[in-house]
Amino acid sequence: MVSAVIHTARQKFPSIHRPLDSVMTMTGFHRINDHLCVDGIRLDAIAAEFGTPLYVYSAAAITANYQAMKAVFAGPNKQIHYAMKANSNLAILKLMQTLRAAVDIVSIGEFERALAAGFTPQQMVFSGVGKTRDELQQAMAADIGQINAESQAEVETIIALAKQNGQKPAVALRINPDIKAGGHAKISTGSSDTKFGIAGHLASDIYIQMAESGVIRPAGLAVHIGSQIMDCSGFIAAWKYMLQLADRLVADGYAVPGLDLGGGIGIDYATGETADLNAFGEAITSVFENRGYHLAIEPGRSMVAEAGCLISQVINVKTTEDKRFVIVDGAMNDLIRPTLYEAFHRITPLTSPPSTTLSNVLPADIVGPVCETGDYLGLKRDLPKVAANDLIAVMSAGAYGAAMRSNYNTRPMAAEVMVINGTPHRISKPQQISDLLAMDIIPTALDVV
């Protein structure tokens, strides 16, 4: 087993984005004088117009992220599949579609979203360890681009459905290379003790079973070892492992048209820097150059994380003997990453001098109104003095932020705004409490209880 657990390896990833306080660029988040801005627009003005808590994204920053990835993954037989689970708002998908990305989907709900944003089924790869028969049938009926199967049982289900419905779907096998990588145990997917993929020693036989079924177009192999990966060594080991399997199948006379290298490339939440895409591109070249396989990658986080922030308003500041709690209107239901993965997101007031003097910076826990001690956005942070009604931004929240929102504590979900060509546009409707109540049903049978 190859072990490559890497959390943050900042030195290996030189910045392609500007630091938070820089005014050198007008794309993404930056300060102009004392004010935090997005693409040159003050975030306090956006908050005043759209309310808080509020997700704000920069279309320009997403575009730049995508182009940067494309630049290191260029060529005729290469396709970027945006892993839409990172942020599946229709406006973000539409932007990705306009940029000529394809998509990685993991449910029929994501399939419907991708369709609604203008993707064709052929531009979709369907990943996931537990696709239901209904989901598979719908995807196969639409002649989806590729299904990444994750077990022999799933392959057998696909074969049975294909025979039953007279279809010939394109199916790849996701392999499990038994490689540990990723920023947190909960998002590490490449080791043999996780539910993901098919063990290498079983993969060849299952691939052959697929190829010989007569009802499947074998599409190749896939691998995805985890998320928030800050070092290429785990990727390289996993890709080489997959390549060996592919080469062996080809030598045995089976067609292996494509290799799906997965997603997982991380960002440095402490600095706002995106991982070194050049190193990622070079790693791909070092393993696959001149090998003739069609290549796909499935980045999610690296496309959108830095391009979004969560704006929140201070409700109160509560000081106890030991602590200063800054209680804000954003909470764990809006951004669950800090409490779920102990994830760090920079937190900064929207208005403050860039070089805040030490005298007005105090440690604080930035917490939400939800009734759980785990409801925090940041702990033990050096935060300038703030008071009720001040605004703060939680940075690098464009990925797995809004996508993982909930209505816990009957809190309407934070709305979303995208800045496009210097103008903020609403991209999700503000939820009303009445919308939430309307989801529930009180059976009349309860009248007689």
**337 interacts with ligand LLP by CB under 6 A:** yes
**264 interacts with ligand LLP by CB under 6 A:** yes
If we measure between CA atoms, which residue out of 56, 127, 121, 69 comes closest to residue 99?
69
Q: Which residue of the set 37, 232, 309, 371 is catalytic?
A: 371
**CA dist., res. 277 & res. 264, Å (int):** 12
Report residue 265 as tokens: 């490339």
Max CA separation in the chain (angstroms): 74
Do residues 221 and 172 touch, judged by C-beta distance below 8 A?
yes
DSSP secondary structure letters along 359-391:
GGEEEEEEE-SSSSTT-EEEEEEEEE---TT-E
**79 interacts with ligand LLP by CB under 6 A:** no
Per-residue binder mask for ligand LLP (CB under 6 A), 186-225, x = binder: -x------------------------------------x-
Q: Choose between 107 and 302: whose C-beta lies nearer to ligand LLP.
A: 302
**127 interacts with ligand LLP by CB under 6 A:** yes
**107 interacts with ligand LLP by CB under 6 A:** no
Ranges of H-type helices in 43-151 = 43-50, 59-72, 90-98, 108-116, 133-141
AA identity, residue 318 = K
Is 309 noted as a catalytic residue in this protein?
no
Q: Which helix (H) or strand (E) holds 216?
A: none
Q: Choose between 272 and 300: whose C-beta lies nearer to ligand LLP.
A: 300
Q: Among the candidate windows 43-51, 78-86, 107-115, 251-259, which touches ligand LLP by CB under 6 A?
A: 78-86
| The only residue of 38, 43, 83, 232 in contact with ligand LLP, by rule CB under 6 A | 83
DSSP-assigned beta bridge partners for residue 42: 37
Considering the complex, what minimum distance in angstroms separates the CB of residue 170 from ligand LLP? 17
User: Closest residue (Cβ) to ligand LLP?
Assistant: 300
**228 interacts with ligand LLP by CB under 6 A:** yes
Q: How far apart, in Å, do the first and last CA atoms of the chain sit?
A: 60
| The only residue of 177, 197, 258, 263 in contact with ligand LLP, by rule CB under 6 A | 263
The residues assigned a catalytic role are 371
What does the binding site for ligand LLP look like in residue numbers (CB under 6 A)?
A: 83, 85-86, 104, 127, 187, 224, 227-228, 262-265, 298-302, 337, 341, 400
